[in-house]
A = this chain, B = another copy of it.
Amino acid sequence: MMDAVFKALADPTRREILRMLGRGEMTAGDLAARFPISGPSMSHHFSTLKQAGLITARRDGQQIRYALNTTVVQDVIAAVMGFAAHETGKKGGRP
């Protein structure tokens, strides 16, 4: 599960999509218009992000509105913090 999440984060276009969605919901079209790659390629990125759980999709008429899934984003933060959380003998928390 985290495997799909980290793989999704590996691509710079997808990270930029996440940053944009961080400002609020956007339609697939609006999002795609801001990148120099084809619609189908963007759609594939959406699919990757969605299956990783990083974004959610909901249909609104003929458009699809994508939104950031902040819950999973927080899971990522926790996972990364986990890398350094086991240092022994290091001063933990805030002083």
Residues of A that sit less than 8 Å from B by CB: 3, 6-7, 9-10, 12, 15, 18-19, 21-24, 68, 70, 73-74, 76-77, 80-88
Copies held by the complex: 2
Distance from A13 Cβ to chain B, minimum over Cβ atoms (Å): 11
Closest to A12 in B: B3
Interface of A is mostly: helix
**Of B70, B85, B86, B88, which is within 8 A of A87 by CB?**
B70
**Of B7, B70, B82, which is within 8 A of A84 by CB?**
B70
**Of B23, B83, B88, which is within 8 A of A86 by CB?**
B23
A/B interface sample: 24 pairs, CB < 8 A: A3-B12, A6-B9, A6-B10, A6-B15, A7-B10, A9-B9, A9-B10, A9-B80, A10-B10, A18-B83, A19-B82, A19-B83, A22-B84, A22-B87, A23-B86, A23-B88, A68-B83, A68-B84, A73-B80, A73-B83, A74-B84, A76-B80, A77-B80, A77-B81
